[in-house]
Amino acid sequence: MKKIINAPQDVVPEMVDGLVRAYPQYLKQVPDTLAMVRSDTASMVGKVGIVSGGGSGHEPAHAGFVGQGMLSAAVAGQVFTSPTPDQIYAAIKAVDQGQGVFLVVKNYSGDVMNFDMAKDMAEMDDIEVQSIVVDDDIAVKDSLYTQGRRGVAGTVLMHKVLGAAADQGASLDELSQLAQAVLPHLNTVAVALSAATVPEVGKPGFELADDEIEYGVGIHSEPGYRREKIKPSKALVTELLAKIDERLHLDASHQYAVLVNGMGATPLMEQYIFSHDLLDALAEKGIKPAFMKVGNYMTSIEMAGISLTIFELTDAKWLDYLTYPVKTIAW
């Protein structure tokens, strides 16, 4: 393991400290926690707070998306480990403005349980809380740490849509309805070229040969659905798009948003080439995305690979939410 770290057990607190001190104009740390709240608390007044988070190792998710127009707070757990309920609750409490707080949870058993407990704690304190569990990874049903499908990069689009609506004054109930409406239209699938190494473990989560790739790998090195020899970018696009199409039935008369997401160690050069092939493949189906982003949004430490998210925009307002201005570090 060759990493720029100090003691492996200090990785998360040191990372959070570095992030908050580098960007005080965006983030402040809730004292004695690994919860980060947006600095411009004035812009939160009268609005529903949105809290997300989860295990660390997915940077810039989630703290990079805290700021006006997106998340109100993010809670960092240890690497690939859910934050504890008390820390999530600290974030809820820090952002509540009397309008309630909405939680965006990725579908991992630990996260679901701990965000639920935090919700109970908040409700005992008369803070109204609702939530959505995002399960956009269509690669596999049930996984190492998940009942059902995993929550991955599509979660960032959920943050964006909800954050814009909340900033425009949506109520807690309205946000909940919006989240439920959006959820079935988020579809993600990934391809991995190499695995992440959790600092405290010291070796990669799985091994791939020098010429091997795996489709459908999760963001915590959960197994995918097929392993094979590396192929050209064009062929990877064909595979991932076909997988998504099985569920989504891409249609030239519909509108789509696309997120091409680097898993951590994959350079933008490769992400842009993949995007070129993707846009060609979509064009063959008569589709031009209404919205697109390419970059590292939901990573898996230094895993090499790309995930593709296609979000069907069945409501015209969702495109406005995606393009609504934000003040964040990483959107």
- Is the Cβ of residue 174 or residue 302 nearer to its own copies in the bound state? 302
- C-beta of residue 272 within 8 angstroms of C-beta of residue 238: no
Pick 173 or 280: Cβ nearer its own copies: 280
Q: Which of 58, 62, 159, 185 is catalytic?
A: 58
Closest distance to its own copies from the beta carbon of 282 (Å): 10
Binding test (CB under 8 A) with its own copies, winner from 81, 99, 261, 299: 299
282: part of which helix (H) or strand (E)?
helix 268-284
Q: Which of 2, 1, 36 is nearest to 17 (CA)?
A: 36
* CB of 117 vs its own copies, minimal distance in Å: 26
Alpha carbon distance 144, 155 (integer Å): 19
Shortest distance in whole angstroms from residue 187 CB to its own copies: 18
Which residue among 109, 130, 168, 233 contacts its own copies (CB under 8 A)? 233
Burial of 179 (0-12, 13-18, 19+ CB in 10 A): buried
Q: How far is CA 99 from the centre of its chain?
A: 24
179 vs 191, which CB is nearer to its own copies? 191
Is the distance from CB of 312 to CB of 197 less than 8 angstroms? no
Is 302 an interacting residue with respect to its own copies (CB under 8 A)? yes
Nearer to its own copies, 82 or 197 (CB): 197
Q: Which residue among the candidates 62, 220, 249, 276 is catalytic per the annotation?
A: 220
Nearest to 219 by CA among 58, 81, 89: 58
Question: H-helix or E-strand containing 89?
Answer: helix 85-95
For the chain, where are the E strands, in sequence order?
27-29, 35-38, 49-56, 73-79, 101-106, 129-134, 186-194, 212-215, 226-229, 256-262, 291-295, 304-312
Calpha distance 151→107 (Å, rounded): 5
Least spacing, CB of residue 262 vs its own copies, in Å: 9
- Lookup result for tokens 């809670």: 75
**Long-range contact pairs involving 205-213 (C-beta distance under 8 Å, separation at least 24):** 213/305
Is-catalytic flag, 276?
no
Tell me the window of 134-142, 173-181, 217-225, 228-236 that interacts with its own copies (CB under 8 A): 228-236
Q: What is the contact mask toward its own copies in residues 238 to 277, using x (rule: CB under 8 A)?
A: ----------------------x---xxxxxxxxxxxxxx
Q: Match 């600290």 to its residue by tokens.
A: 90
**Is 284 near its own copies (CB under 8 A)?**
no
| Interacting positions 37-56 with its own copies (CB under 8 A) | 56
Using rule CB under 8 A, residue 78 touches its own copies: no
β-pair partners for 52 = 74, 104
Choose which of 19, 104, 127, 310 interacts with its own copies (CB under 8 A): 19
**Is-catalytic flag, 58?**
yes
Select from 41-49, 146-154, 291-299, 308-316 the region that touches its own copies (CB under 8 A).
291-299
- Provide the binding-site residues for its own copies, judged by CB under 8 A: 2-7, 11, 14-19, 21-23, 56-57, 59-60, 64, 79, 191, 193-194, 210-211, 213, 230, 232-234, 236, 260, 264-279, 292-296, 299, 301-302, 304, 306, 330
Instruction: Return the active site residues.
Output: 58, 220
